[in-house]
Amino acid sequence: MLVAGYVATAGLVRQLTALNVGPVCVTLLIYLAVGVIVARRQPRNPIGWILLVFVVLFMLASDSGYYAVYGYSRGHARLPLAAAAVLVEPSWIPALALIPLVILLFPDGRLTSRRWRLVLWIYAAHWGCGFAAIWIPTVIAVADHHVHLDSFGDVQGSGGQTGNALSAVEVLVVGAIVVIWLSFVAHQVLSWRRVAGERRQQQKWLASGARSPWSASPSAPSSAAGWRGTWPGSGLPPCPSASVSGS
C-alpha cells in the first residue's frame, strides 16, 4: 500500500519517472521481502524487524513528502492533512538510523559485548539531536504558516542565527554518526578475522556490500534532501538474507 502511495504521490508532483521511482521501489521491495523472511524464520532476530520498520518509515516519509509538495508547492494549500504530511515527512531520519544497525547486529542479531550497548545509546542520542535539528524548524514553519518545501517535502532552511546554529549542529551530528558507522564496519572486519566457515563467508559478503554507501557517497550531503534524495538509489547496505540460511 505504501509503495502504491509512493507511486501515486510521485505522479502528482511530476516525479514519476523510471529513474526516480524504479530503483527505490525495487530496493525497498527487496528489503521488505528479506525482512518478512527473517522475521518469520527467526522472530527473535531483530534484523528482520529492523528492515520492516525501515521500509514503513521510509515509504511513509516519501509518501507524505510528495503529498506535502503537492499541497504547498503546487497550489493546493487547503489539501486535507497537508500540514500533517509536512510533520510526518522527517520520519526518513529514524529510518536512516536503523539500517546501519543491521551491520552491527549481523548475522544473529546479538551484540558481541556490553560496550556496544553504550555505543548504541550514544548513536541514538546523536540521531535524536539530528532529528530535533530538522524537525523543530519544520514545526515552527507549520505553526507560523510559512512552509517552503524542497522537491522531496523537506522544509527549507529557516535562515538567520537559528538556522546557522542548527546547521552547525547537523554538521557535528553527521560527523559523529559517520564515525560510529565506521566503527560498526570495523567491528565486522575484526570479527571476520576471528571466525571461519559459513560465518566468515557471511561477514565477508556483508563487508563488501557495506562499502557501497561510502563509495557511492564519498562526502556527507549538505542538506536533509541530500540524504534522502541520493541514498535510496545510490548505495543501500545489503540485505542480510544470508542470516536466514542458518535457520
In whole angstroms, give the CA distance from residue 240 to residue 113: 21
In whole angstroms, give the CA distance from residue 106 to residue 203: 8
What value does the mean pLDDT of the chain take? 75
Q: What is the pLDDT of residue 228?
A: 53
Q: Does the pLDDT of residue 96 top 50, yes or no?
A: yes
Domain count, the chain: 1
Q: Does the pLDDT of residue 196 top 90, yes or no?
A: no
Q: Which of 28, 98, 31 is nearest to 63 (CA)?
A: 28
In the predicted model, what is the mean pLDDT of residues 114-120? Answer: 91
User: Does 245 map to a domain?
Assistant: no
Q: What is the pLDDT of residue 154?
A: 82
Q: What is the pLDDT of residue 152?
A: 77
Q: Return the percentage of the chain with pLDDT > 90, whole number.
A: 23
In whole angstroms, give the CA distance from residue 27 to residue 78: 34
Question: CA torsion sign, 133 to 138 to 144 to 148?
Answer: positive
Q: How many residues does the chain have?
A: 247
Tens digit of each residue's pLDDT (9 = 90 or more) over 66-75 = 888 888 877 7
Domain that holds residue 112: 2-234
Compute and round to an integer the Cα radius of gyration of the chain: 19
Amino acid identity of residue 168, one-letter, is: A
User: Does 239 map to a domain?
Assistant: no
Which of 52-56, 121-125, 128-132 has the least mean pLDDT?
Answer: 128-132
User: Does 171 map to a domain?
Assistant: yes
Spacing of C-alpha 81 from chain mean position: 23
User: Does 180 map to a domain?
Assistant: yes
User: Does 148 map to a domain?
Assistant: yes
Q: What is the pLDDT of residue 101?
A: 92
Q: Which of 199, 31, 52 is nearest to 112 (CA)?
A: 199
pLDDT classification of 39: cutoffs 50, 70, 90: very high
In whole angstroms, give the CA distance from residue 9 to residue 196: 48
Higher-scoring residue by pLDDT: 201, 220: 201
Three-class SS state of 147: coil
Which of 11-20, 43-52, 181-190, 191-200 has the least mean pLDDT?
Answer: 191-200
Q: 81, 5 in Cβ contact below 8 A? A: no
User: Does 223 map to a domain?
Assistant: yes
Q: Does the pLDDT of residue 144 top 90, yes or no?
A: no
Q: Which residue has the cell 539530528?
A: 130
User: Does 9 map to a domain?
Assistant: yes
User: Does 247 map to a domain?
Assistant: no
